[in-house]
Amino acid sequence: MGFITIRTEVPSLSVPSIVFPFSRDPPHLLIRRFPVLPPVLHLDDRFIVLDKPTGLLSVPGIGPEKADCLASRVNVTYPEARIVHRLDRDTSGVIVMGRDAEAHRELSRQFQDRETEKTYHALIGGHPKEDAGEIDLPLRKDLDDPPRQMVDFERGKASLTKWIVTSRGEIGDLNDALAAPDADPRMPITRLELTPLTGRSHQLRLHLKSIGHPILGDDLYAPDPLRAAVSRLCLHASRLDLTHPGNASPMSFRSPPPF
């Protein structure tokens, strides 16, 4: 039997090759049969940082059709790695996994104690009146409509998001790969830089919807015109700052937004 080799190339970083049995399947079927490791932003003996693509679960879901995820792909090469935090399936960007129990525990503690700093970028519908602001709305699960979350001033958990406008424009400003062909090119949109000071499920998505500016492509919180205007959820985890779990040195990892 012959073999082909798929190598993940990362500048100044050596990542092991993954060798798969030779297949005559077309490339798109080969990728589905042998999922490829997402881009690696950092790798050492304590933890690994990756750039998760949109459409990929962070951890397995329920059922065999949801078994493929970032964690399972990483575990093919690094079976000891464990997820520290999660990104929604359709959110892309920086995500970290611990490679031993102590590193996983320390990184998890940093997230729980809010010692990490995170920055996201998003495209939203409309043009906010202000150029910056804060959204302070308590959130909880919507027990009547999962997996959606909801604002609840009585039983919700405190949730705080800071936002800054980086540019304003129209759907027509986006490239053809992102904008839907039948989207109104005059539809107003805005690029935001987001800083979540808490880490609730769907926090950024629901907070922005709650102030009247849902994220483009959001299949849970955006109305149809904004949901269908683009080919993906336009939310990206672009920066993560944390402390090395071994030597306590400050570290920063970045991934430019792909939209």
Q: Which residues pair with 222 in a beta bridge?
A: none
The domain that contains 17 carries what CATH number? 3.30.2350.10
Specify whether the CB–CB gap between 184 and 231 falls below 8 A: no
More confident residue, 17 or 185: 185
Tell me how crowded residue 82 is: count the other CB atoms within 10 A of its CB. Answer: 20
Distance, in Å, from the CA atom of 149 to the CA atom of 88, rounded to the nearest integer, reads: 13
Residue ending a domain, among 97, 113, 129, is 113
Tens of pLDDT along 129-145?
999 999 999 999 999 99
Same domain, 88 and 166: no
In a domain, 49, yes or no: yes
Give the least confident one: 4-8, 22-26, 117-121, 176-180.
Answer: 4-8
Residue 136: give the domain boundaries: 118-236
User: Does residue 26 come out as left (phi exceeding 0), alpha (psi in the -120 to 50 range) or beta?
Assistant: beta
Quick: pLDDT tens for 91-120.
Answer: 999 999 999 999 999 999 999 999 999 999
Q: Are residues 30 and 55 in the same domain?
A: yes
Q: What is the pLDDT of residue 168?
A: 98
The answer as to whether 248 is a domain residue is no
**Residue at a domain's end among 66, 90, 113:** 113
Asked if the structure places residue 257 within a domain, the reply is: no
Average pLDDT, the chain: 90
Query: Number of structural domains, the chain?
Result: 2
- 107 with 13, same domain: the answer is yes
Helix (H) or strand (E) holding 10: none
pLDDT for the residue 64: 86
| pLDDT (0 to 100) of residue 28 | 42
- Report the share of the chain in percent with pLDDT over 90: 84
Q: Distance between CA 236 and CA 123 in Å, rounded?
A: 9
Is 255 part of any domain? Answer: no
The reported pLDDT for the residue numbered 116 is 98
Q: Considering the candidates 44, 45, 51, 88, report the single residue annotated as catalytic.
A: 88
| Whether 207 contacts 137, CB under 8 Å | yes
pTM for this model (two decimals): 0.86
Examine the residue annotation and report whether 182 is marked as an active-site residue of this protein.
no
Predicted pLDDT of residue 5: 35
Where a domain ends, among 63, 93, 113? 113
